[in-house]
Structure formats: structure tokens, C-alpha cells
């Protein structure tokens, strides 16, 4: 495998085992039945954490604590300023413990340590941003309903929220939900992925240290069945905020419909980038390489399919292949590594299945196309892979591979490019590369996606809302829309003075 840039495994000394427990009503607890799961580092094969494996009783106890705490009203009616103070303190503590959190994130997920550190720093910024929103919650007033009437629209916390998160960005994604829910005055029950539970527990420790009252944020560890299902069906929960696969999102939506809970879903994507002949091909090639290999492609925003104009398809593909050779893949604990390990052997098999099926159906491999052996590390790595000669109907060109695999399609006209983008079940994000701003704007307005990037890829800011259309989800996170998701609207109409005409005559 001489054509790749491989960072070899360094001697691995496992850190002390992290022992995750549930956080219920301010108390760290084992499972009611004492069940536990264990997690090995996908890059090193070594045991790094154990976690209480929750059952129905643990999930119900956590929901009861969140419900009791919300209904008591102390948190829900606390001032935005006092909630902001706790969120700001949490941000400081996240920064204080950044190295510890990042190390655990890398060990459980396989992502590069430099990237994990950047994600934890970005998460701290989200807690600060949400703190600013906590002091800006306000509704509307209506002063033109007549001389004797004043109408007020209140924004109030929606209540008890279930927050269910995936394994690909464990700390960042809970930080896209929890501080916004807390800023709104909600109480929460959190279920991290069974593959990456520990950094959510560390966050629980920091929340206690920051002074968050017991019962406001509860954590239950375990599998989707039963913990996630209880969190989606229990009538004491008012809203479910879920990030994960589209398949599970649909199940949650169906489960939550039994009690008509609000559901907010951040799901999968098969995000296209369209490259016009007048684009800066070097910049586009670099962004495409980043977009497909970032987090080993295990990213909802992965730029996993490019739709490139016929005139520049070969030149652009050659540039991406050349850059692919230079991307440092390998031991995620090495600061030089930019792409680490795949989350599990089952997921490796899924990625490879897409590639091999495409090859059997006539696709060509421009680079990669198989597992990658890294000295001294477990073999859970996949080569940087570029696949060409595709038809738009092939699964690899339409479905979420969730690995370091780029699909290349071509087009002749803007209309054709748009129909390739929009003929899709997903609609999370899309990108366009052209020096002509009117081409970019025309594309941005007509493409069906929650986020559009022009001449860039995967930038994000706490201020900018994020979410998908079609089967990529519903609702938005981040920005002030991210706060609104956790707020309910209440109408209050107040008669001024004794002016009401009797409905029934008392005479
Ligand atoms: P997943 O859907 O398998 O699991 C996500 C979470 O749901 C986990 O905590 C899991 O235990 C839980 N779960 C599983 N079954 C459940 C059920 N029946 N009821 C309730 N909860 C259940 O997803 P994953 O494999 O952890 O993550 C990868 C997926 O997440 C990809 O599809 C990716 O695109 C998506 N994702 C989306 C975004 C986004 O913002 N749009 C961000 C990151 C990841």
C-alpha cells in the first residue's frame, strides 16, 4: 500500500478504564439489573471504557426525575441570567478538561486527536452561544386588538425533552442540543450512543460542578431498544430531539406519534457538490478531499458525491486522487493524523459492500477500494476511495455510505446538475463551485437542501441554523432557531377594565 500516506500505530498504553454510569436525579447509578457494556478503541483494539447498560426501569426513573424537576418550576421559571451563568461555567469547565474529553472521544470513536480537540473547543463555544440566547427569550405583544384588550404571546419551555445522539460526534452533537434546551428552561433525559457513552458522562460531571440542579439533566446509557424507545414513547416526555440515521428517525417519529410529542430529527445525507468549469479547481479539489475524508466519511455532512461538469471531470478527479494519496490516515492518537479508524467491524463491512457492489456493476476505482492495514493497530481502517464510471441510480451514488468513499458523477447543464441533486431522498446539504455568483445563487435557490455552501464546504457557526429537508430531517439546530425548537408558544389575552358585555342577560 505505497500510494497512501499512513501514520503507523504508536506504542499504545491504555488509560485507566472509564466507568460510565447513569445520572438520575443528580446521582450516579448502576443499572437496576447491574448490566454493563464494554467499549474497545476501534484503532487500538484495547478496552477503554465500560458503561452501565440501561433497561426500561432506568429510563423510566430518569424520565420521572426530569418530569418532577420540570413540574416543580424552580428551573423552568428561573431567570435566563441564572441559567446563562451555569451554561457559561460549563463552557469554562469544558475548556479546562478539553484534553481529557478529547482523549476519550478519540479512544471510543477512532477520530483523530487533533480533530477531537477542535470539536471539544467548538462545543465549549456552543455552550457560550446558548448562554447568550438564554437572556434573549421573549415573545410578542398585541396592542391593537381594541381599546380594552391587550394580547401577549409568551415563549415558555416545552417541558421534558429526550435527547438521543449518535456515535460520530458524541460531544459536539449533545452540545448542539443540551445547552439550547437548558437555555430554554427545559429538563432533559439524554441517551448517548452505546458505542461512545463516556464523554456524555464527563459532561454530566461538569454540569454538576457548574451548579446545575439535580434532575435537570439526566443521562441513561444503553441501546436504542429499550432505552431510546422508552424515551420516545413515555407520555411524561414532551419532545424528542434525535440525531442519527434516517431509519431510526422514522421509527422514533412513529413511536412518538402515540403521544403526539414534538419530534426534531437530524438525519442522514448524500450531499452533492456541483463543480462548474469556471471554478477554481485546486480549491474545489482540496475542499472535496476534506469533505469526503473528514471523520473518515462518518459524517452526515460528508460531501460524498460530486457532480462535475464533463469538461473538467477528468482534471478534477485527478487532482482529488492526487490529494487523496497525501491525506495522513492512521493512528488517531498521533497529532499528524487527519483520518482515523472506522467505528466498528460491522460498519467496515457495510462501507466495503457498497464499493464492491458498485465495482460488480461497472464502476471504476480511481484510488482505494479496500481495507487499510496500519502497523501496530487493529485493522479497522478503510482506504481513501474515489469511485468513477457511475450511474445515478446505483446505491453508492444515492445512499449514505458513511465512509471515506467519494462517488463521481458528471453533468452538462445547470438544469441537469440540479435534477441530479434533487432526485434524492435526502436533502441535508449541497455545494456549488463557480466563479460566477449568479450561477451560485441560481443553484442555491433551486437545490433542495437545508444548507448550501458556495465555493466552500462544511463551514459552520453557532449562529447559523442547521438541519435537513426531505428524509434528512425536520426542525433546526443552532442559531436562534435552535432555541425556538425547545420553546412553546402561549397566548394570553387580557381585558383591561370592566368592559366585557354579558353573554347571558342576568335580568
Ligand atoms: P443510529 O440511528 O443507529 O443511532 C443513533 C442513536 O439512536 C443511538 O443513540 C442509538 O442507540 C439510538 N437508537 C437506535 N435505535 C433506536 C430506537 N428504536 N429508538 C430510539 N433510539 C434508538 O445512528 P448512528 O449509527 O449512531 O449514527 C450515524 C447516523 O447519524 C448517520 O445516518 C448520520 O448521517 C446521522 N447523523 C446525522 C447528523 C445530522 O445532524 N443530520 C449528525 C450526525 C449523524
Counting residues of the chain whose pLDDT is more than 70, the rounded percentage is 98
Asked if 300 is an active-site residue, the reply is yes
Averaged pLDDT, 452-459:
97
Other beta carbons less than 10 A from residue 133's beta carbon: 22
Q: Calculate how far, in angstroms, residue 224's C-alpha sits from the geometric centre of ligand 1.
A: 9
Is any ligand 1 atom within 6 A of the Cβ of residue 170?
no
What is the average per-residue pLDDT within 345-352? Answer: 95
The per-residue pLDDT for range 194-253, each reduced to its tens digit, is: 999 999 999 999 999 999 999 999 999 999 999 999 999 999 999 999 999 999 999 999
Residue 374 pLDDT: 72
Please check whether residue 406 is in contact with residue 292, taking contact to mean a CB–CB distance below 8 angstroms.
Answer: yes
Instruction: Confirm if 432 and 439 have CB atoms less than 8 A apart.
Output: yes
Residue 84's pLDDT is 98
Respond yes or no: is residue 19 known to be catalytic.
Answer: no
For ligand 1, pick from 162, 245, 246, 268 the residue to mutate: most ligand atoms within 8 Å of CB.
Answer: 245
Rounded to an integer, the average pLDDT of 430-434 is 98
Asked whether residue 4 carries a pLDDT value surpassing 80, the answer given is: no
Determine which one of 105, 108, 119, 266 is catalytic: 266
| Residue with CA closest to ligand 1 atom 10 | 224
pLDDT number for residue 372: 83
Read off the pTM: 0.97
The CB of 473 under 6 Å from ligand 1? The reply is: yes
Model pLDDT for residues 98-133, shown as the tens digit of each residue: 999 999 999 999 999 999 999 999 999 999 999 999
CA distance 159 to 172: 23
What is the C-alpha separation between 11 and 131, in angstroms, rounded? 42
Looking at residues 329-357, what average pLDDT do you find? 95
Sequence-ordered alpha helix ranges (H) in 331-485 = 345-360, 395-398, 414-422, 437-446, 479-484
Asked if 434 contacts 279 with a C-beta cutoff of 8 angstroms, the reply is yes
Specify whether the CB–CB gap between 61 and 24 falls below 8 A: yes
Cβ(400) – ligand 1 distance below 6 Å: yes
Predicted confidence (pLDDT) at residue 480 exceeds the cutoff of 90: yes
pLDDT digits (tens, 9 = 90+) for 363-418: 999 999 999 877 655 668 999 999 999 999 999 999 999 999 999 999 999 999 99
Computed over every residue of the chain, the mean pLDDT equals: 96
pLDDT in tens, 153-177: 999 999 999 999 999 999 999 999 9
Query: Which residue has 472509564 as its cell numbers?
Result: 18
| pLDDT exceeds 90 at position 2 | no
**Which residue among 299, 300, 421, 440 is the active-site one?**
300
Distance CA 20, CA 72 (A): 28
Check whether 345 has a pLDDT greater than 60: yes
Q: Over 90: is that where the pLDDT of 15 sits?
A: no
What is the rounded average pLDDT of the residues 325-333? 93
* R_g (Cα) of the chain, nearest Å: 25
Q: How confident is the model at residue 484 (pLDDT cuts 50, 70, 90)?
A: very high
- pLDDT for 162 equals 99
Tally DSSP H helices, then E strands, for the chain: 15, 27
Determine the average pLDDT of the residues in 306-335.
96
User: Given this model, what pLDDT does residue 70 score?
Assistant: 99
**Domains delineated in the chain:** 14-267+468-491 (3.40.605.10), 272-454 (3.40.309.10)
Atom of ligand 1 nearest to the CA of 194: 11
Binned at pLDDT 50, 70 and 90, residue 13 comes out as confident
Residue 267: partners with Cβ closer than 8 Å, 6 or more residues away: 243, 244, 245, 246, 249, 300, 426, 428, 468, 471, 472, 473
Q: What is the pLDDT of residue 379?
A: 66
Amino acid at each position: 500500500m505505497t500510494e497512501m500516506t499512513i501514520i503507523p500505530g504508536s506504542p499504545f498504553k491504555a488509560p485507566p478504564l472509564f466507568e460510565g454510569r447513569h445520572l438520575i436525579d443528580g446521582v450516579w447509578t448502576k443499572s437496576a439489573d447491574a448490566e454493563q457494556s464494554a467499549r474497545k478503541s476501534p484503532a487500538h483494539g484495547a478496552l477503554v471504557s465500560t458503561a452501565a447498560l440501561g433497561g426500561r426501569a432506568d429510563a423510566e426513573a430518569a424520565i420521572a426525575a426530569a418530569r418532577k424537576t420540570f413540574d416543580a418550576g424552580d428551573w423552568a421559571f428561573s431567570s435566563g441570567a441564572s441559567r446563562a451563568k451555569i451554561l457559561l461555567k460549563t463552557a469554562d469547565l469544558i475548556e479546562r478538561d478539553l484534553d481529557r474529553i478529547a482523549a476519550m472521544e478519540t479512544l471510543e470513536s477512532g477520530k483523530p486527536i487533533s480533530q477531537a480537540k477542535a470539536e471539544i473547543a467548538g462545543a465549549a463555544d456552543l455552550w457560550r452561544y446558548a448562554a447568550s440566547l438564554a437572556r434573549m427569550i421573549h415573545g410578542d405583544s398585541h396592542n391593537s386588538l381594541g381599546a380594552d384588550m391587550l394580547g401577549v404571546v409568551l415563549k415558555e419551555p416545552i417541558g421534558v425533552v429526550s435527547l438521543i445522539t449518535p456515535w460520530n460526534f458524541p460531544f459536539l452533537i449533545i452540545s448542539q442540543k443540551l445547552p439550547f434546551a437548558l437555555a430554554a428552561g427545559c429538563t432533559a433525559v439524554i441517551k448517548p450512543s452505546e458505542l461512545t457513552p463516556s464523554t456524555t458522562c464527563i459532561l454530566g460531571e461538569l454540569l454538576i460542578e457548574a451548579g446545575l440542579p439535580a434532575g435537570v439533566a439526566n443521562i441513561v446509557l444503553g441501546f436504542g431498544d429499550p432505552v431510546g424507545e422508552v424515551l420516545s414513547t413515555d407520555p411524561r416526555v414532551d419532545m424528542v430531539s434525535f440525531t442519527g440515521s434516517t431509519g431510526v428517525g422514522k421509527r422514533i417519529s412513529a413511536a412518538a406519534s402515540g403521544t403526539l410529542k414534538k419530534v426534531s430529527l437530524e438525519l442522514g445525507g448524500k450531499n452533492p457538490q456541483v463543480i462548474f468549469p469556471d471554478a477554481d479547481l485546486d480549491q474545489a479539489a482540496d475542499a472535496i478531499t476534506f469533505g469526503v475524508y473528514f471523520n473518515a466519511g462518518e459524517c452526515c455532512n460528508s460531501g460524498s458525491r460530486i457532480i462535475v461538469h464533463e469538461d473538467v471531470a477528468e482534471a478534477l478527479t485527478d487532482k482529488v486522487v492526487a490529494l487523496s494519496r497525501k491525506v495522513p490516515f492512521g493512528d488517531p492518537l498521533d497529532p499528524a493524523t487527519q483520518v482515523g479508524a472506522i467505528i466498528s467491524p460491522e460498519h467496515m463491512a457495510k462501507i466495503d459492500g457498497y464499493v464492491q457492489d458498485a465495482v460488480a456493476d461497472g464502476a471504476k476505482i480511481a484510488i482505494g477500494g479496500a481495507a487499510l492495514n496500519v502497523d501496530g493497530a487493529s485493522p479497522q481502517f478503510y482506504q481513501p476511495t474515489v469511485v468513477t464510471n457511475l450511474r445515478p441510480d446505483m446505491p453508492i451514488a444515492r445512499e449514505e455510505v458513511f465512509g471515506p468513499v467519494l462517488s463521481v458523477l458528471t453533468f452538462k447543464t445547470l438544469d441537469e446538475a440540479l435534477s441530479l441533486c434533487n432526485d434524492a431522498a435526502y436533502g441535508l446539504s449541497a455545494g456549488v463551485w463557480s466563479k460566477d455568483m449568479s450561477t451560485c445563487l441560481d443553484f442555491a435557490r433551486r437545490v433542495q437542501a437545508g444548507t448550501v455552501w458556495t465555493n466552500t464546504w462544511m463551514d459552520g457557526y453557532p449562529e447559523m441554523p442547521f438541519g435537513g429537508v426531505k428524509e434528512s430531517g425536520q426542525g433546526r439546530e443552532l442559531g436562534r432557531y435552535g432555541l425556538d425548537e425547545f420553546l412553546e408558544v402561549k397566548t394570553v389575552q387580557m381585558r383591561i377594565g370592566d368592559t366585557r358585555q354579558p353573554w347571558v342577560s342576568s335580568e
